[in-house]
Protein backbone atom coordinates (compact mmCIF):
# COMPACT_ATOMS: atom_id res chain seq x y z
CA UNK A 1 0.00 0.00 0.00
CA UNK A 2 1.48 3.38 -0.96
CA UNK A 3 1.79 6.13 1.66
CA UNK A 4 -0.49 8.44 -0.28
CA UNK A 5 -2.97 8.12 -3.12
CA UNK A 6 -5.19 10.76 -4.68
CA UNK A 7 -7.27 9.88 -7.73
CA UNK A 8 -8.20 13.56 -8.14
CA UNK A 9 -4.74 14.04 -9.62
CA UNK A 10 -5.64 11.93 -12.66
CA UNK A 11 -7.18 14.54 -14.93
CA UNK A 12 -10.86 13.80 -15.50
CA UNK A 13 -10.98 10.73 -13.25
CA UNK A 14 -13.17 12.32 -10.63
CA UNK A 15 -16.28 14.00 -11.99
CA UNK A 16 -17.74 17.32 -10.84
CA UNK A 17 -19.04 17.83 -7.30
CA UNK A 18 -22.74 17.09 -7.36
CA UNK A 19 -25.43 18.67 -5.20
CA UNK A 20 -28.27 16.42 -4.15
CA UNK A 21 -30.43 19.35 -2.97
CA UNK A 22 -33.44 18.15 -1.03
CA UNK A 23 -33.39 14.72 -2.63
CA UNK A 24 -32.03 11.92 -0.42
CA UNK A 25 -29.98 10.41 -3.22
CA UNK A 26 -26.42 10.38 -1.89
CA UNK A 27 -26.47 6.62 -2.56
CA UNK A 28 -27.10 7.19 -6.29
CA UNK A 29 -24.57 10.02 -6.52
CA UNK A 30 -21.88 7.95 -4.81
CA UNK A 31 -22.58 5.05 -7.16
CA UNK A 32 -22.50 7.37 -10.18
CA UNK A 33 -19.15 8.81 -9.09
CA UNK A 34 -17.76 5.30 -8.65
CA UNK A 35 -18.81 4.21 -12.16
CA UNK A 36 -17.50 7.45 -13.71
CA UNK A 37 -14.10 7.11 -12.03
CA UNK A 38 -13.76 3.46 -13.04
CA UNK A 39 -14.62 4.21 -16.66
CA UNK A 40 -12.08 7.01 -16.86
CA UNK A 41 -9.16 5.16 -15.28
CA UNK A 42 -9.87 1.88 -17.05
CA UNK A 43 -10.97 3.00 -20.50
CA UNK A 44 -10.02 6.69 -20.70
CA UNK A 45 -13.73 7.41 -21.22
CA UNK A 46 -14.79 10.51 -19.34
CA UNK A 47 -18.50 10.14 -18.81
CA UNK A 48 -21.05 11.72 -16.51
CA UNK A 49 -23.76 9.17 -15.86
CA UNK A 50 -27.42 9.87 -15.12
CA UNK A 51 -28.26 9.92 -11.43
CA UNK A 52 -31.89 10.61 -12.39
CA UNK A 53 -32.06 7.30 -14.24
CA UNK A 54 -30.83 5.51 -11.11
CA UNK A 55 -33.63 7.18 -9.15
CA UNK A 56 -36.44 6.75 -11.68
CA UNK A 57 -35.59 3.16 -12.58
CA UNK A 58 -34.72 1.71 -9.18
CA UNK A 59 -36.59 -1.39 -8.08
CA UNK A 60 -37.55 0.15 -4.75
CA UNK A 61 -39.23 3.08 -6.47
CA UNK A 62 -38.64 5.84 -3.96
CA UNK A 63 -35.27 7.24 -4.93
CA UNK A 64 -35.50 10.65 -3.27
CA UNK A 65 -36.44 9.05 0.02
CA UNK A 66 -33.15 7.24 0.51
CA UNK A 67 -31.61 4.06 -0.74
CA UNK A 68 -28.44 2.05 -0.89
CA UNK A 69 -25.49 2.10 -3.23
CA UNK A 70 -26.10 -1.51 -4.20
CA UNK A 71 -29.62 -0.56 -5.36
CA UNK A 72 -27.99 1.76 -7.89
CA UNK A 73 -25.58 -0.90 -9.12
CA UNK A 74 -28.45 -3.40 -9.41
CA UNK A 75 -30.32 -0.87 -11.55
CA UNK A 76 -27.33 -0.45 -13.87
CA UNK A 77 -27.01 -4.25 -14.21
CA UNK A 78 -30.75 -4.67 -14.81
CA UNK A 79 -30.79 -1.98 -17.51
CA UNK A 80 -27.51 -3.16 -19.06
CA UNK A 81 -25.93 0.22 -18.52
CA UNK A 82 -26.77 3.81 -17.73
CA UNK A 83 -27.47 6.92 -19.81
CA UNK A 84 -25.51 10.16 -19.72
CA UNK A 85 -26.22 13.03 -17.36
CA UNK A 86 -26.74 15.35 -20.32
CA UNK A 87 -29.37 13.09 -21.95
CA UNK A 88 -31.14 12.30 -18.70
CA UNK A 89 -30.39 15.21 -16.33
CA UNK A 90 -30.81 15.38 -12.59
CA UNK A 91 -34.11 16.97 -11.49
CA UNK A 92 -33.74 16.56 -7.71
CA UNK A 93 -37.05 14.76 -7.61
CA UNK A 94 -38.38 11.27 -8.08
CA UNK A 95 -40.77 10.51 -10.88
CA UNK A 96 -42.55 7.21 -10.36
CA UNK A 97 -43.26 5.27 -13.55
CA UNK A 98 -41.08 7.70 -15.49
CA UNK A 99 -38.15 5.39 -16.10
CA UNK A 100 -36.60 6.32 -19.45
CA UNK A 101 -33.86 3.73 -19.38
CA UNK A 102 -34.75 2.52 -22.87
CA UNK A 103 -34.96 5.97 -24.40
CA UNK A 104 -31.30 6.94 -24.33
CA UNK A 105 -27.99 5.40 -25.35
CA UNK A 106 -25.94 3.81 -22.61
CA UNK A 107 -22.64 5.57 -21.95
CA UNK A 108 -21.34 3.23 -19.24
CA UNK A 109 -22.04 -0.18 -17.79
CA UNK A 110 -20.62 -2.48 -15.12
CA UNK A 111 -19.72 -6.17 -14.92
CA UNK A 112 -20.70 -6.64 -11.30
CA UNK A 113 -20.20 -5.12 -7.87
CA UNK A 114 -18.49 -6.32 -4.72
CA UNK A 115 -18.37 -5.69 -1.01
CA UNK A 116 -14.84 -5.17 0.29
CA UNK A 117 -13.55 -6.39 3.67
CA UNK A 118 -14.12 -4.12 6.67
CA UNK A 119 -10.38 -3.54 7.04
CA UNK A 120 -8.90 -0.11 6.39
CA UNK A 121 -5.57 -1.47 5.19
CA UNK A 122 -7.25 -3.69 2.61
CA UNK A 123 -9.58 -0.89 1.57
CA UNK A 124 -6.52 1.32 0.99
CA UNK A 125 -4.86 -1.41 -1.04
CA UNK A 126 -7.93 -1.90 -3.23
CA UNK A 127 -8.43 1.86 -3.64
CA UNK A 128 -4.82 2.40 -4.71
CA UNK A 129 -4.92 -0.50 -7.17
CA UNK A 130 -8.37 -0.36 -8.71
CA UNK A 131 -9.80 3.12 -8.11
CA UNK A 132 -12.36 5.00 -6.00
CA UNK A 133 -14.95 3.03 -4.03
CA UNK A 134 -18.15 3.96 -2.20
CA UNK A 135 -18.51 3.95 1.58
CA UNK A 136 -21.41 4.68 3.90
CA UNK A 137 -20.72 6.64 7.07
CA UNK A 138 -22.35 8.31 10.03
CA UNK A 139 -22.84 11.89 8.80
CA UNK A 140 -23.40 13.41 12.24
CA UNK A 141 -20.21 15.51 12.21
CA UNK A 142 -20.58 16.74 8.65
CA UNK A 143 -23.33 19.32 9.15
CA UNK A 144 -20.95 21.83 10.71
CA UNK A 145 -17.69 20.61 9.16
CA UNK A 146 -15.49 23.20 7.47
CA UNK A 147 -12.07 21.61 6.90
CA UNK A 148 -9.38 19.33 8.32
CA UNK A 149 -9.34 15.71 9.42
CA UNK A 150 -12.27 14.47 11.53
CA UNK A 151 -11.27 11.95 14.17
CA UNK A 152 -14.11 10.87 16.42
CA UNK A 153 -14.58 8.34 19.17
CA UNK A 154 -17.29 5.69 18.73
CA UNK A 155 -19.13 7.40 21.55
CA UNK A 156 -19.39 10.68 19.64
CA UNK A 157 -19.88 9.22 16.13
CA UNK A 158 -21.46 5.77 16.29
CA UNK A 159 -19.78 3.54 13.67
CA UNK A 160 -22.79 1.20 13.66
CA UNK A 161 -25.23 3.93 12.63
CA UNK A 162 -24.32 4.84 9.09
CA UNK A 163 -26.64 7.06 7.09
CA UNK A 164 -24.72 8.75 4.26
CA UNK A 165 -22.96 7.33 1.19
CA UNK A 166 -19.96 9.07 -0.38
CA UNK A 167 -17.06 8.30 -2.72
CA UNK A 168 -13.64 7.47 -1.29
CA UNK A 169 -11.04 8.96 -3.66
CA UNK A 170 -7.74 8.77 -1.81
CA UNK A 171 -5.72 8.79 1.38
CA UNK A 172 -2.66 10.44 2.88
CA UNK A 173 -1.13 11.81 6.06
CA UNK A 174 -1.04 15.27 7.57
CA UNK A 175 1.72 16.56 9.80
CA UNK A 176 0.48 17.80 13.15
CA UNK A 177 1.99 18.36 16.57
CA UNK A 178 1.49 16.69 19.94
CA UNK A 179 -0.60 13.74 21.15
CA UNK A 180 -3.70 15.02 19.48
CA UNK A 181 -3.82 18.01 17.23
CA UNK A 182 -5.65 20.07 19.83
CA UNK A 183 -4.23 18.74 23.10
CA UNK A 184 -0.64 19.80 22.90
CA UNK A 185 1.24 19.98 26.15
CA UNK A 186 4.74 21.36 26.36
CA UNK A 187 6.07 17.88 27.16
CA UNK A 188 4.36 16.04 24.36
CA UNK A 189 5.05 18.54 21.61
CA UNK A 190 6.54 16.60 18.74
CA UNK A 191 5.71 16.19 15.09
CA UNK A 192 3.13 13.52 14.45
CA UNK A 193 1.29 12.48 11.35
CA UNK A 194 -2.46 12.11 11.11
CA UNK A 195 -3.46 9.55 8.49
CA UNK A 196 -6.65 10.39 6.65
CA UNK A 197 -9.09 9.36 3.94
CA UNK A 198 -10.20 11.81 1.24
CA UNK A 199 -13.92 11.62 0.47
CA UNK A 200 -16.07 13.24 -2.17
CA UNK A 201 -19.44 14.45 -0.92
CA UNK A 202 -22.59 15.38 -2.85
CA UNK A 203 -23.55 18.63 -1.10
CA UNK A 204 -22.10 21.05 -3.62
CA UNK A 205 -18.66 22.64 -3.85
CA UNK A 206 -19.53 25.32 -1.30
CA UNK A 207 -19.46 22.77 1.49
CA UNK A 208 -16.30 21.43 3.19
CA UNK A 209 -12.99 21.42 1.36
CA UNK A 210 -14.48 22.40 -2.03
CA UNK A 211 -16.98 19.57 -1.77
CA UNK A 212 -14.56 17.06 -0.24
CA UNK A 213 -13.80 16.16 3.37
CA UNK A 214 -11.29 14.08 5.28
CA UNK A 215 -11.78 11.40 7.93
CA UNK A 216 -9.13 9.85 10.15
CA UNK A 217 -7.74 6.59 8.71
CA UNK A 218 -7.12 3.61 10.99
CA UNK A 219 -9.79 4.12 13.65
CA UNK A 220 -12.99 3.27 11.74
CA UNK A 221 -14.07 6.87 12.31
CA UNK A 222 -17.83 7.26 11.79
CA UNK A 223 -18.14 3.68 10.50
CA UNK A 224 -16.18 4.06 7.28
CA UNK A 225 -15.48 0.31 7.11
CA UNK A 226 -19.10 -0.79 7.46
CA UNK A 227 -20.13 -0.88 3.80
CA UNK A 228 -17.21 -0.44 1.37
CA UNK A 229 -18.74 -1.28 -2.01
CA UNK A 230 -17.59 -0.83 -5.58
CA UNK A 231 -18.67 -1.66 -9.08
CA UNK A 232 -16.29 -3.52 -11.38
CA UNK A 233 -15.89 -2.73 -15.03
CA UNK A 234 -13.15 -5.26 -15.82
CA UNK A 235 -12.41 -8.84 -14.87
CA UNK A 236 -10.97 -9.06 -11.34
CA UNK A 237 -7.39 -9.73 -12.46
CA UNK A 238 -7.25 -6.80 -14.90
CA UNK A 239 -5.73 -3.64 -13.46
CA UNK A 240 -6.60 -0.13 -14.70
CA UNK A 241 -4.46 1.86 -17.12
CA UNK A 242 -3.46 4.27 -14.36
CA UNK A 243 -2.02 3.76 -10.92
CA UNK A 244 -3.06 6.09 -8.16
CA UNK A 245 -0.93 9.27 -8.07
CA UNK A 246 0.76 9.97 -4.71
Q: What angle do CA 44, 41, 35 make, to 5 degrees?
A: 100
Active site residues: 26, 164, 201
Question: Which of 118, 125, 134 minimizes the C-alpha distance to 226?
Answer: 118
12 or 117: CB nearest another protein:
117
Those residues with Cβ within 8 angstroms of residue 226's Cβ, 6 or more apart along the chain or in another chain: 118, 135, 136, 137, 159, 160, 162
10 or 213: CB nearest another protein:
213
Q: How far is the CB of 222 from another protein (least distance, A)?
A: 11
Q: How far is the CB of 20 from another protein (least distance, A)?
A: 7
For the chain, state the CA radius of gyration: 18
13 or 228: CB nearest another protein:
228
Question: Which of 104, 122, 2, 15 minimizes the C-alpha distance to 57?
Answer: 104
CA distance 72 to 119: 24
Q: How far is the CB of 149 from another protein (least distance, A)?
A: 4
Name the residues that contact another protein, by CB under 8 A: 20, 22, 24-27, 59-60, 62, 65-68, 70, 73-74, 77-78, 110-115, 136, 139-141, 143-153, 156, 162-165, 174, 176, 180-182, 194, 196, 203-204, 206-208, 214, 216, 227
Amino acid sequence: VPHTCDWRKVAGAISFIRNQGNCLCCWAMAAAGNIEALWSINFLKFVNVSVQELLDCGRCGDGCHGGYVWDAFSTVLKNSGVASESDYPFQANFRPHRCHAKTYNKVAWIMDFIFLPDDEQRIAQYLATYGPITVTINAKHLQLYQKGVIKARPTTCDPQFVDHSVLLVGFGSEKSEGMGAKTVSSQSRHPRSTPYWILKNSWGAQWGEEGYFRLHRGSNTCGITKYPVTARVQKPNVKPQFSCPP
